[in-house]
Amino acid sequence: MADNKMIIEERARDIGSFLVGRLLPFRKKRQVGPFTFIDHMGPSEIKEDKYMNVDQHPHIGLSTLTYLLEGELEHQDSTGAHQIIKSGDVGFMTAGSGVTHVERTPDYLRNDAIYPVHGYQIWVALPKELEEMSPRFDFVAKKDLPTWNENGLKMTLVAGEGYGRKSSLPVHSLLFMIDVEAEEETTLEIKGQLEGEIGFVVTSGKVIDEDQTIEAGQMLISKTENECRITLEAKTRLLIFGGEPLPEPRYLYWNFVSSSKTRLEKAKEDWKNKRFPMISNNNTYIPLPGHRTK
């Protein structure tokens, strides 16, 4: 492989009922464009004693993008948003100055049946001038996302701009995220179609780049902009993401992202002292790591 690319292996972590794989951040590459954090959930099965129940927790300085390949998820947050996110939909919660949310298996799926779940939760850092914006939640259904066929590929523009198209999802910086599916082996040309840094997450199948094979659970990152050309084997699906990098470094602590370490400290104290906005009629609370509530 040329030295202008790197492959990142998914690292597993446990979040209770689920084992998820983390792709970003990585010690040699903290961000791809404004994308700061990528967790891969599943593929798993939802069934009794394995329901998703992520209690109320906070965020600042970022937008969380939820995209499911299979299954359904119930989202609720302190802006008042309450939304069922299904396969192919995109949920986009912008934390800004501070938001809390919960994620759970919808009540109507809590029965004796077994359901698949497979998807990604992605953090997009906000530009410095928008880090303290008012929180908001945006949702675009699968049917309303730009979808087209190109060179034997089915392509869906989940967020941002690319290939001469623009998603209706409101975003806050120059970025892109595209879902690509290949029925037969084919080549994907990137040059001139996307702007900024670029990464590929292989969700199923295999991608060939020169003499290297990138498989499901791996991420390929190009160290040069807009010069990639890759081959997808038949029955391959991948996510392409990236965009223009933010000019300042971003610092992460737990669920917080900021260009200021001082702001991270304030967020810690605010959560410990329950000064964040909270969801109405929801008393759940995930403590700050290492901090026990009284």
Let me know: does 191 contact 164? Beta carbons within 8 Å: no
| Mean of the per-residue pLDDT values of the chain | 87
Q: CA–CA separation, 100 vs 77, rounded Å?
A: 6
The domain ranges of the chain are 8-243
Give residue-wise pLDDT tens across range 168-182.
999 999 999 999 999
Give residue-wise pLDDT tens across range 221-250.
776 665 677 899 999 999 999 999 999 999
More confident residue, 273 or 43: 273
Beta bridge partners of 29: 26
Is the pLDDT score of 108 beyond 90? Answer: yes
What lies within 8 Å, CB to CB, of 270 at 6+ separation is: 58, 98, 276
Mean pLDDT across 149-171: 96
What lies within 8 Å, CB to CB, of 283 at 6+ separation is: none
Give residue-wise pLDDT tens across range 65-79.
999 999 999 999 999
Is the pLDDT score of 12 beyond 50? Answer: no
Mapped onto helix, strand or coil, the DSSP state of residue 271 is helix
Matching CATH number, 8-243, of 2.40.50.100, 3.90.950.20, 3.30.10.20, 2.60.120.10: 2.60.120.10
